[in-house]
A and B are shown apart, each in its own frame.
Chain A
Amino acid sequence: MVARKSTKKPNVSAEDLKQYYRDMLLIRRFEEKAGQLYGMGLIGGFCHLYIGQEAVVVGLEAAAEEGDRRITTYRDHGHMLACGMDPNGVMAELTGREGGYSRGKGGSMHMFSTEKRFYGGHGIVGANVPLGAGLAFADKYLGNDRVTFTYFGDGAANQGQVYETFNMAALWQLPVIFVIENNQYAMGTSQKRSTSSPDIYTRGQAFGIPGEAVDGMDVLAVKEAGDKAVAHCRSGAGPYILEIKTYRYRGHSMSDPAKYRTREEVQKMREEKDAIEHVRELLVSGGHATEEDLKAIDKEIKDVVNASAEFAKESPEPALEELWTDIIADAAPQNA
C-alpha cells in the first residue's frame, strides 16, 4: 500500500519531529481514553475513533499556516486536537457536558471552533466536501491567500456531491485541498468491494485537478505532500487532491463487530506500519531523544488526557434552558 517512498532522512528539525510525536501521541491517548469512557457509559451514541490515522492530520497541520481552514467528517477528534483545540473542551463535548465546545449540544460528530478555523464535525457522508469548497470560495472572494483542508474518507469519495464539488472547485479555481483519508474501509465495506478503481486520487483528472497518493503511516511523507499541495493552492492554481493511504485500528464506531477484516490484518499494520512507532524510532536512532525523554513526553500526554477526562466527568450537564437556545441567531454571526 505504500505509494510513496518513506522519507529516509527526516527533512524536518528534531524539534519538529518531537512535536509530531507529541501531537500524534496526544490523539492516540485521547482516543483510547474516549473508548474507555464510552465503555463506562459516560459517552453515548456514536463515537468514531481516529486511532491508526494520526499521521494524516498531524502531517497536514504541519503544512498549514495561520488562517487556513479545515473541515472534516464525523471521525473528527484527531483533527480538533491537531489544530490546537483544547482537549478538555473536546472530551467534555463527548460526554455531553456544559464545558464542551458545543456546550453538549453537538456531540462527538459536531464540534466547531471559529477561533481555530475548524468548521466541523459533519455526520452526513460527503456533505462536508461542498461545504469545504464553500469556505475556500469565501477566501477567494475575499481576496486572501488562505487554503481550506477538506477531509473525507474513501467511502465519501463515492458520493455524487464530491464530483459536483470537484467540477466547481476546478472551474472556479478554489483554494481547497481535498484530503481523502483512505483507511480502506467504508464502515465495514472494503475499498475493493465498494470502489471501481483502486486509485481514488486519479479521479480528479477528469476535472483537471492534480492528485497524488501518499503513505499516510509516514508523517514526514504526509507533511511533504501537504507542503506541495498548500503551495499549489496558495499560488492560485486551484484545488489539489491528496489520497492519503492510512489504516484505522479500531472499529468504524464503538459497536463494530469487526467481522469484515481479520485480526491478523490489523495486528500486522500495528506492528509494521504504526506511524507513532515510526517517529519514535527516528527520534531514538537519530539521537534526537533518549528513551527517558520519550517517557517524559508519554507522561506529559497522559496527564493532559487524564485531566481532560476528569474535566469531562466533572463538567455539569447543560442547563435545561439550553434546549431552547442557539436555534435562531438574533445578531449577525462573526464567522469570518
Chain B
Amino acid sequence: MATEILMPALSPTMEEGTLAKWLVKEGDSVKAGDILAEIETDKATMEFEAVDEGTVGKILVAEGTEGVKVNTPIAVLLEDGESAEDAAPAPAAKPAEAAPAAAPKSAPATAKAPEAPKANTSPDWPEGTEMQTMTVREALNSAMAEEMRRDDTVFIMGEEVAEYQGAYKITQNLLEEFGAKRVIDTPITEHGFAGIGVGASWGGLRPIVEFMTWNFAMQAIDQIINSAAKTLYMSGGQMGSPIVFRGPNGAAARVGAQHSQDYAAWYAQVPGLRVVQPYSAADAKGLLKTAIRDPNPVVFLENEILYGRSFEVPKMDDFTIPFGKAKIWREGTDVTIVSFGIGMTYALEAADKLAEDGISAEVIDLRTLRPMDTDTVIASVMKTNRCVTVEEGWPVASIGNHISSVLMQKAFDYLDAPVINCTGKDVPMPYAANLEKLALTSTQEVIDAVRQVTYR
C-alpha cells in the first residue's frame, strides 16, 4: 500500500520547516536509512531519512518551499509493484495527529474558600509518661540504634561514622553494636556515596546516609533531588527511595562561609522529599525514628550547636512523632512567632523577654518543613493577628517568605500588621566573631520585630 511521507518534526520545538532540497526524485527506489531530503528546522538543517523501503511515487511539496507544517504529506512512497496512480490523491494537509500538547482542561485544585484550619494539638506522648534528660546527640544516637535493632535492612554510611565514632559523635558505639557491615565508613566522596545509598534503597535496604555537614552535601545534591526525590513520580509509583540523609545544617561557630549554610529553604522546595529540622531532643528522636521508617527520601537537618543541649525525652519503648505536625511551645495572645531548629532558641528567648513587658507571644516550632503544618500557624495567627518568623538561613526565598505568602492567602483579613521575617543576613558567612554574630539573626531582632508588628 502506498504510504505518505509526512513532514517530520525534527526537534522538540519544531512546528514547521523549510523543505530545502530533495535528494531523491520520483521513480527512485529507496531503502530504510537513505536520505530523502534536507529540511531546515528552527535549529539546523537536518537530513531526513527513509524509514521504509519502496519507490518514490509522487513528490507533493517542491524543494525550496518554506513554512511546511509538521505532518503535511510531502511525498508518496510506493511498495513494489504499485504505480504512482495507485497513490490516492494527497489529501489536504492533515491536522497534526493527536499532538499531545493538550493543556489541562481545568486548572486543578486552585485555592478553595478559606476555612479556619484546626491545629493538631494532640500531645506527642501520653500524659504521665516518665521522662529522662537527654542531649540531642544522645537522642539521635538512640533513635538510630533502636531502628537498627528493629530492622536488619537499616544501615548507616558516611564519613567517620564507624571507627572515629562520628565526627560529632552521633554514631557513637554503633560500630560496636552492629558491626562493620551496617556501620560503614566511606571515603570522602559525597556525590558517590549518596548515589550508592539511593541505589541501595532501590535494592531493598533502608540506608541512613550521614553527611559530615550539609555543606558537603552540595556535592551530592543531584542524587538527593534527581535520583531520590523524583523517582517515585517518574516511575509512575513503581519504586520509591526509602532513605534518610542526615547531618548538621547551618552555622556552627566561626567556621566561615563554606561551612555555615542553612539549606532548609532549598530542600523544602522539592516535591518528593520530606524535610525535617528538629529543635529539641524529644523531636530529634521521635522524628528520626519516623524518618527511618518512612518510605520516602528524608532530608534530616540537625544543628551542631544543638547537639549538646539537653531536653526532657519520654521514656517509651517506641516513641515516634509524625511528620507535618508543628508543636506549640508556648501559648500566647499578642503575636505568633514561627521558627524551627536552632531558630527556636531565639524565638523562645524573645518570648520570655517580651513576657516581662507584658507582650504574650505564641511560639510555634514547625519541626517538619515538608510537609509543613501551616494549619497550626494559620489557626494561631487568626487568634493573635500578627506573625514573626525566625530562621538562620538567607532572606531571599526563605521559609519565612513562604509562611508570609500562605498567611496572605489564607488569613489576610486576620492580619493587623505585615509579617516580618527574621533571617540570616544576605551575605556569605564571615569568619570574624563580631561579623558572624551580626550575620545571624538574634533574640534582639526577634524582639524588635514583635514590637514592630504589635506597635508596642
Interface residues of A (CB under 8 A from B): 32-33, 35-36, 38-42, 44-46, 69, 71, 95-96, 100-106, 110-114, 119-124, 127, 129-139, 141-142, 160-161, 164-165, 167-168, 171, 249, 254-259, 263, 270, 313, 317, 320-321, 323-333, 335-336
Instruction: Name B234's contact: one of A41, A110, A136, A258 (CB within 8 Å).
Output: A110
Judge if B256 is at the interface, Cβ distance under 8 Å: no
30 A-B contact pairs sorted by A residue (CB < 8 Å): A41-B96, A42-B97, A44-B101, A69-B203, A102-B238, A106-B236, A119-B239, A120-B231, A120-B234, A130-B195, A134-B196, A134-B201, A141-B153, A141-B155, A161-B192, A164-B191, A171-B187, A255-B14, A255-B41, A257-B44, A258-B46, A313-B98, A317-B102, A320-B105, A323-B108, A326-B232, A328-B274, A329-B295, A330-B295, A335-B239
Q: Write the B82-114 contact mask toward A (1 if CB under 8 angstroms, else 0).
A: 000000000000001111111011101100000
- Are B9 and A38 in contact, with the CB atoms below 8 A? yes
Task: Let me know if B9 and A39 touch, CB within 8 A.
Answer: yes
A141 touches B200 (CB 8 A): yes
- Nearest chain-B residue to A28 (Cβ)? B32
Task: Please measure, in the bound complex, the distance between the C-alpha atom of A78 and the C-alpha atom of B268, giving whole angstroms.
Answer: 37
| Smallest CB gap from B194: residue in A | A130
Instruction: Indicate if the CB atoms of B196 and A137 lie closer than 8 Å.
Output: yes
| Residue B397 is within 8 A (CB to CB) of chain A in the complex | no
Cα–Cα distance between A111 and B235 once the two chains are bound (Å)? 6
| Cβ–Cβ < 8 Å partners of B147 in chain A | none
Shortest Cβ distance from B187 into A: residue: A167
A134-B200 CB under 8 A given contacts A41-B70, A95-B100: yes
Smallest beta-carbon distance B298→chain A, Å: 11
Assess A327 versus B44: contact at CB under 8 Å? Given A36-B51, A313-B98, A333-B295. no
- The answer to whether B314 has its CB under 8 Å from any CB of chain A is no
Contact A32:B12 (CB < 8 A) given known A119-B202, A134-B195: no
Counting chain B CB atoms within 10 Å of each CB, the highest count among A111, A164, A325 belongs to A164
Return the chain B residue nearest A122 by Cβ. Answer: B227
Interface of B is mostly: loop
- CB of B195 within 8 A of CB of A131, answer yes
Q: CA separation between A334 and B421, bound complex, in Å?
A: 42
B44, B102, B189: the one within 8 Å of A167 (CB): B189
Chain A hits for B194, CB < 8 A: 130
Residues of B within 8 A of A33 (CB): 51
Question: Contact: A320 with B232, CB < 8 Å?
Answer: no
- Would you give the 0/1 interface string for B184-206, flagging 1 where the beta carbon is closer than 8 Å to chain A? 00110101111111111111110
**With the chains together, A78 CA to B94 CA distance in Å?**
32
Q: Given A39-B10, A328-B232, list of 9 further CB < 8 A pairs?
A: A35-B51, A39-B8, A69-B203, A111-B235, A112-B234, A124-B227, A130-B198, A141-B200, A317-B100
Residue in B closest to A96 when the chains form the complex, CB atoms = B100
Q: Judge if B271 is at the interface, Cβ distance under 8 Å.
A: yes
Contact A333 B240 (CB under 8 A): yes
Residues of A within 8 A of B63 (CB): none
B239 touches A135 (CB 8 A): no
Q: Report chain A residues within 8 Å CB of B233.
A: 105, 326-327
The residues of B that contact A160 with a CB separation of less than 8 Å are 191
Ranked nearest first, the 7 interchain pairs of A and B with the lowest CB-CB distance are: A134-B199, A138-B203, A130-B195, A336-B204, A164-B192, A39-B8, A255-B11
A254 to B14, CA, bound (A): 11
User: CA–CA, A104 to B236, complex, Å?
Assistant: 8
B416 at interface, CB cutoff 8 A = no
Interface residue total, chain B, C-beta cutoff 8 A: 72
Assuming the contacts A110-B234, A112-B235, A165-B192, asked whether A138 and B9 have C-beta atoms less than 8 A apart, the reply is: no
A112 touches B45 (CB 8 A): no
Chain B residues positioned under 8 Å from A325 (CB to CB): 237
List, in ascending order, chain A residues with CB within 8 A of B308's CB.
Answer: none
Are A335 and B201 in touch, CB under 8 angstroms? yes
- Give chain A residues whose Cβ lies under 8 Å from the Cβ of B43: 255, 257
CB nearest to A313 among chain B residues: B98
In the docked arrangement, what's the CA distance between A136 and B271, Å?
28
A142-B204, A254-B11, A332-B295 known; A127-B222 Cβ under 8 A:
yes
Cβ contact of B197, chosen from A44, A103, A134, A249, cutoff 8 A = A134
CB distance from A234 to the nearest CB of B (A): 16
Contact A42 B100 (CB under 8 A): yes
Q: Counting CB contacts under 8 A, is B129 at the interface? A: no
A134 to B296, CA, bound (A): 17
A124 in contact with B195 given A103-B236, A257-B44, A270-B33 (CB within 8 Å): no
State whether A141 touches B231 (Cβ < 8 A). no
- The distance from the CB of A39 to the nearest CB of chain B, in whole angstroms, is 3
- Within 8 Å of chain A (Cβ to Cβ): is B272? yes
Residues of A within 8 A of B196 (CB): 130-131, 133-134, 137, 165, 168
A187 smallest CB distance to B (angstroms) = 14
Are B199 and A131 within 8 A (Cβ)?
Answer: yes
B47 contacts partner chain A, Cβ-Cβ < 8 Å: yes
Residues of B within 8 A of A142 (CB): 203-205
User: B237–A134 contact, CB under 8 A?
Assistant: no
Chain B residue numbers with a CB within 8 Å of A96 are: 100
The minimal Cβ–Cβ distance linking A106 to chain B, given in whole angstroms, is 4
Digitize B211-248: 1 where CB-to-A-CB distance is under 8 Å, 0 elsewhere: 00000000000110011000111111111101000000
